Amino acid sequence: MGMRLEHIGIAVKDLSESNDLFSALFGEAHYKIEAVESEGVKTSFFKTGSAKIELLEASNENSSIAKFIGKKGEGIHHLAFEVDDINFELDRLKKEGFVLIHETPKDGADNKRIAFLHPKSTNSVLIELCQDKG
Ligand code: ZN
């Protein structure tokens, strides 16, 4: 068990520009681009050692990424931790007093089930839990 840092999500205004920027930074291109319609986001992923970098661009103005950038500008949006049993962890964290944004996991990018904890219960850090669909 335990949580492993799986990726860091970064909100960007222009995914194509940021793909170029981060490709130059890492010396390696992203390995996939994926739209998550339910979240109103377009994502790209970079491999960086044991944890990935996920860039997130809003695909519509109601997207949580559009709201985030409107309030805070571009930058680190969330930390994602991989767990072995996401339902068990959500239950455990709820009992610990954490506020869940998603009571039950939903489909996310990169073939995962995901759920978010509300930043008001985590020192203003948006936390994502994820589990491989396998
Ligand atoms: Zn994520």
User: How far, in Å, from the CA of 97 to the mean position of ligand 1?
Assistant: 22
pTM of the model: 0.94
Could you list the pLDDT tens digit for every one of the 134 residues in the chain? Answer: 689 999 999 999 999 999 999 999 999 999 999 998 888 999 999 999 999 999 999 999 999 999 999 999 999 999 999 999 999 999 999 999 999 999 999 998 889 999 999 999 999 999 999 999 97
Residues contacting 121, CB < 8 A, separation 6+: 97, 98, 99
Helical H segments across 30-127, by residue range: 64-72, 86-95
28 CA to centre of ligand 1 in angstroms: 20
Residue-level pLDDT at 2: 87
Ligand 1 center–CA 116 separation, angstroms = 9
**CA 129 to ligand 1 center in whole angstroms:** 8
Structural contact between residues 46 and 72, judged by C-beta atoms closer than 8 angstroms: no
Q: What is the DSSP string of 85-113?
A: -HHHHHHHHHHTTPPBS-SS-EEETTTEE
What is the whole-number distance in angstroms between the Cα of residue 52 and the centre of ligand 1?
Answer: 9
State the number of CA atoms in the 13 A half-sphere of 24 facing the CB.
Answer: 5
